[in-house]
Amino acid sequence: MKISTRGRYGLYFMLALAEDYEVKKRSVKSVAEERGISDLYLEQIVASLKKENLVKSTRGAYGGYELNFPPDEIMVGRIFRTLEENIVAVETDEKDTETERYLWRRVRDALRDVLDHTTLADLLSHSEDEIDDYMFYI
């Protein structure tokens, strides 16, 4: 499975808002600068998150973006489904046997389970050292 930059940047933005939940609002520019990414590209991503009602914005001097729900109510799967065209662990092939299709379905279901049962709060509760210890490639 490969998550595009759209999905990754959207998750970065949502985590930044989760870190500051009920403390302060964040601008797209501040998160983009913090992560070293394009603020114009991030603005497009945030528009999708806003349309899906995951974030809300306030105009003015003390304006910015904030989560529309507490971090423990926002599942990572919802973020990725909002931003990614298609999340597929393995695409099946007409040459696959029923046994192979069974394996691919199990992989798909396990991926969905992780994404749909992991909240922003879960991610924030782990230290950076713990996260760095995970292997990102098999």
Query: Does 70 reside within a domain?
Result: yes
Radius of gyration of the chain from its Cα atoms, rounded to whole angstroms: 17
Number of structural domains, the chain? 1
- Residue 49 CB: number of other CB atoms within 10 A? 22
Query: Does 92 reside within a domain?
Result: yes
Predicted TM-score (pTM) of this structure: 0.84
Three-state DSSP class for residue 56: strand
Query: Does 57 reside within a domain?
Result: yes
Query: Does 137 reside within a domain?
Result: no
Query: Does 56 reside within a domain?
Result: yes
Query: Does 138 reside within a domain?
Result: no
Q: What is the CATH number of the domain that holds 79?
A: 1.10.10.10
Across the chain, which has 138 residues, the per-10-residue mean pLDDT values are 86 96 94 95 97 94 93 96 81 85 88 93 77 50
The one-letter amino acid at 39? D
Q: Which domain holds residue 77?
A: 5-132
Query: Does 74 reside within a domain?
Result: yes
Q: Is the separation of the CB atoms in 7 and 83 below 8 Å?
A: yes
